[in-house]
Amino acid sequence: MTTTRIGHKQRWIPWGALLVASSLLVGCQIWGGSQETVGKTSNQDAAQTIPHYTGEKSKVIPFVYTGRKELSLTFNGMGDVVTMKRLLDELDKYQIKATFFLPGMRVAEEPDIALEILNRGHEIENNTLSQLDVTKLGYEQIYKEIQLGNEVIQKQTGVTPRYVRTKSGDVTDEVRLAAAALGMKGVVSYNINPKDRDMKDAKTIGEYVARFMTRGGIISMNTDINPEVVNSIAYIAQAAKDIGYKLVPLGQLVANGGERKPLEQIPGYDAAKINPDTKNAAYRFINRLETNEPKIALTFDDWGTDKTVTKVLDILEQHDVVATFFLRAKGVEANPNLARAMVEGGHDVANHSYSHQVITKLTPEELQQDLVKAHRVITEAIQQQPVMLFRPPTGVINEEAAKVIAAAGYRDIAMYDVTTLDWDSRNSAEDIVNGVMEQTRNGSIILLHILDDIHTVEALPTVIERLKAKGYTFVKMADLIPD
């Protein structure tokens, strides 16, 4: 017997769960044997054969679909008592609730640590029994790794795990099938991995997470490898605060998220199609609406990080202004939640191509392929048909390209009459403000950008305030366009 201590508790380690796990695994030759021996069977093995599940696979969760300002901090493994106590104290300091994927064997060895995790308000999920490399295991061994991990965690903590994650985060069909057979809600991967296994320092870990922080993101870190993980919490907490995001447990993130429909189930996904018959396609350029009413449209092009785009969205919300976002779909593909947040904020989303090439340099086939791909990526991201407006990258377009675009389903070519070249970081916030104010008139369409490291975010509040002071009303671009 031995004792372990965490916080102010002390108790004898109950080895019963460990022995139960050991006896159950002997038949599969996982416990105490090399992975190369897996697959050898005996009469006892045959009697304990687990049927291979053939139903629907468990879902994979690399991130959660949501427009909310939330993401999850998750940990794998279980460090020693001192490390875990420091980590829990650090999470408390920054009021972060996290999700811990714990190996069943470590829970059996040191249940007090697992109980303290729960007492501090965090979640516990299954990191398999002994963190073996699942890519080298057969279905039955994977099943028992998950099953016994669940059983040990439930026995020692009273918690029944809902999710499983493998040691590396790798997900195979066999893992998904075993998880489904055991009634698990999902196999959790991640979309933010700061690679702390490489023994990076705390600041480097924190800066990596900050750079890739997204709504609905799942950060994956390890508690038992690099002690700098503990010190990185301060940097991660600050990064979330800078954007205005909250770190919540995985269960809460999933509960607040939504299910993404397959593309083919979304009305309007096929509103853009390849169509080689371009000769007589009708199109129209829209630069400005001729009107005596003080209505204007604020539009934003391209793509940026969560930090930049969220600041733009926050400013628009604070000033009760709606806008139209022309999105570079390659960026949307990598971060669909950010596009969804725009729609949930009451804004319109439209097509700015997939790869952001000068379209007059593309063949008709290449242009339509790019356009249709962008349409489908954006549609799937926002789970609805985008506004059917296309804005050409760099603003360069000719009659031939316009016909190609119109034939594919985008009749309206969305241009602008107010531009300040804000994409050039040499143009200051004052330059941007002055340019907008000098050019804007009734029916104007204002072009700005959501790129990182430019001065648009700095200029935007002043732009809005001064335009409102002149009596202008902001509408979405589609509302300026006659039928």
Annotated active-site positions, please?
Answer: 301, 449
Specify whether the CB–CB gap between 304 and 457 falls below 8 A: no
Euclidean distance between CA atoms 314 and 256, whole angstroms: 20
Q: Which are the contacts of 189, defined by CB distance < 8 A and separation ≥ 6?
A: 60, 61, 62, 165, 169, 171, 218, 220
The partner residues of 419 in beta bridges, in order of sequence, read: 447
Specify whether the CB–CB gap between 317 and 310 falls below 8 A: no
Terminal-to-terminal C-alpha distance of the chain = 81
Phi, psi of 102, rounded to the nearest 5 degrees:
-110, 135
Q: Which are the contacts of 181, defined by CB distance < 8 A and separation ≥ 6?
A: 53, 55, 143
